[in-house]
Amino acid sequence: MKILRRILYGLLGLTFCFLMLISLLTEGASGSFAELMRGQSDPGPYLSAGPAQAVEPVYAVNARVDTQNIAHETAPEYVSFALDLSQVTGGKWWAPEADQLELGSGNVHAPVFDFDRPRLDALVRELRPAYLRIGGSESDKLFYDLSSNDERLEPEAESPYHSIMTRRQWDRLNAFARRNRLRVMFTMNAGPSARDASGAWRGDNARELIRYTTEQRYPVDIWELGNELNIFFYLYGPAKQISAQQYRNDLIKAREIVREFDSEARVAGQSSAFWPVLGEPLSFAFSFMPTYLREAGDLTDIVGWHYYPQQSRRGLFASRRATPGRLLHPENLDEALFWTNRLRQLQAAFAPDTELWLGESGNAQYGGEPGVSDRYISGLWWLDQLGLLARNGHDVVVRQTLSGMTYGMIADAELYPRTDYWNTVLWKRLMGTRALHVDTTAATPSNESADSALAEIAGETNRTDGANKDTNDSPENKYKKLRVYAHCAKSGPAGAITILAINLSHTAAAELRNRYTGAYELFLLSAPDVLGTEVQLNGTVLRTNGNVLPPLNGINRTADANGLHETIPPLSYAFIKINAAGAVACQ
């Protein structure tokens, strides 16, 4: 049986490669077939357990912040988060062990999510303001049974639905959102089970849910019609793929139902899945985003897309397999900007009065990659993506997930905050809604042994044999390893800014240089083990005290007459808050 399964998977894999080649040749992919093939192996750098080791000279980067102009102003809920409907209902999801290939959207039943945990409430309150998106592939397989107060229900064998959401589950979800002052975005079933024989969306079950939700005054602000319609061909078969014209009719009906009960709620059209390198999978045959927005851009309040920069070993098909060092390459991080530019063009042409959302994103598709998505190293990608997209037109980014599976910000069983939770809290506290432009150029280090200046904070670097240096980075391009973003500060006097600097180099410290002189606060994040689960703030490991977060204070420092020169150790990142920046854009 195992041999037959391997043969089947092999044939499917060959078919996938052939179809991907056609996609690359016929559509505007972000990379070549060679890039797709590189995505199937580990490109390095090959990281070892323990702290990052500086074995190369310090490289310096000049960062000039445009304090006169706003690049983009995000929503207050810019960093938001999701729970999968599989978690809410106990539907099919990914196997936590990641010890087998899985098709569809997972092979095992998720445990029903427990919303009634005081520790969860305490952790979530630190992430406000935020949207709680309830979505995922299970959205389009779900029946809403508002007559049932059961903990969990299974559909009958002959039912077209795969799972059932009970009234009790919906009540508990909304009670959680209400007491934590979260705004809910709910993805309605637009799949085959919610359609009639002609393929039209019925809307009757959704109408009952919206009516009940409005009567209960639950905090659902946005109703989203369907999840990733562009891959219905994969989940349900090519015959179930929805046309853009049909979807326009579906959106008209959805808006009518929502307006009947709640005139202030927003309606969001579906968000297409974009894969690394490829964009919409098999876009030569099933591209949906351009035609959907052309047909129905006037009917959505939000233009959204879903994107994971790499894919875990759970999934049979992948255009870029997840590895610890994959997202330390700037070009892989910048791919999100490639697709962003495409979407902004479509938005400007067909839906100019909408918000732009990355409605679902995590470190790796298919539940996250164990040993990568749940470790310190994931934090460099997460903060970089937040900085990149805020500066480039995004109003909201939704993290998959708040808690649950390998890519969750919080480990669900023990509610242990992972690195990306701490990063999100610091972003919320330090970065305001106004993103600023930053220009970076290579500079000459003022002191190539600058690591010692922060030894008391980051800890001494360890010896290495140098076999894994950044050999692919020419001196003139080395500066690109330091990613720099800036926002108006979340708090402080008018004109205050916060700079975020992320050092992607695993072998060299970076010296961040800026013309500013005067006092500032440094929040330096590093790790005793870059492949471990702990993160340090200014040398202290971050841990909760019961349900209470520790003080997340910066260190007061002063830039002299030569300007701000701050050393960022390898694979570390820092928030630098400057209260006296005098930024006109932040007045």
Chain mean position to CA 585 = 27
- Non-local CB neighbours of 349 within 8 Å, separated by 6+ positions: 293, 294, 297
Tens of pLDDT, residues 356-370: 999 999 999 999 999
CB distance 206 to 257 below 8 Å: yes
Question: In 3D, which of 325, 394, 393, 330 has the Cα closest to residue 361?
Answer: 394
Which DSSP symbol is given to 490? S
CATH class of residue range 72-435: alpha beta
Dihedral sign for Cα atoms in the order 324, 373, 131, 289: positive
- Non-local CB neighbours of 326 within 8 Å, separated by 6+ positions: 42, 43, 309, 310, 320, 332
Q: Given the structure tokens 């969990």, which residue do they identify?
A: 152
CB distance 169 to 113 below 8 Å: no
pLDDT of residue 543: 98
CB distance 88 to 136 below 8 Å: no
DSSP-based three-state secondary structure for 223: strand
Domain residue extents for the chain: 59-69+437-586, 72-435
Q: Given the structure tokens 């092979």, which residue do they identify?
A: 107
CB distance 193 to 160 below 8 Å: yes
CB distance 143 to 193 below 8 Å: yes
- In DSSP notation, 289-324 reads HHHHHHHHGGG-SEEEEEE-SSB-TTBS--SSB--T
pLDDT of residue 158: 86
- What's domain 59-69+437-586's superfamily in CATH? Golgi alpha-mannosidase II (2.60.40.1180)
- Non-local CB neighbours of 180 within 8 Å, separated by 6+ positions: 121, 124, 125, 128
pLDDT of residue 285: 82
β-bridge partners, 568:
510
Tens of pLDDT, residues 77-127: 999 999 999 999 999 999 988 988 888 888 899 999 999 999 999 999 999
CB distance 39 to 312 below 8 Å: no
Distance CA 521, CA 270 (A): 42
How much of the chain is helix, strand and coil, in % rounded to 5?
A: 30, 25, 45
* Burial environment of residue 334 by CB neighbours within 10 A (0 to 12, 13 to 18, 19 or more): middle
Tokens linked to 529: 């083990």
Dihedral sign for Cα atoms in the order 332, 338, 344, 350: negative
As a three-state string, the secondary structure of 198-209 is CCCECCHHHHHH
Distance CA 502, CA 572 (A): 6
pLDDT < 70 regions, the chain: 1-28, 447-476
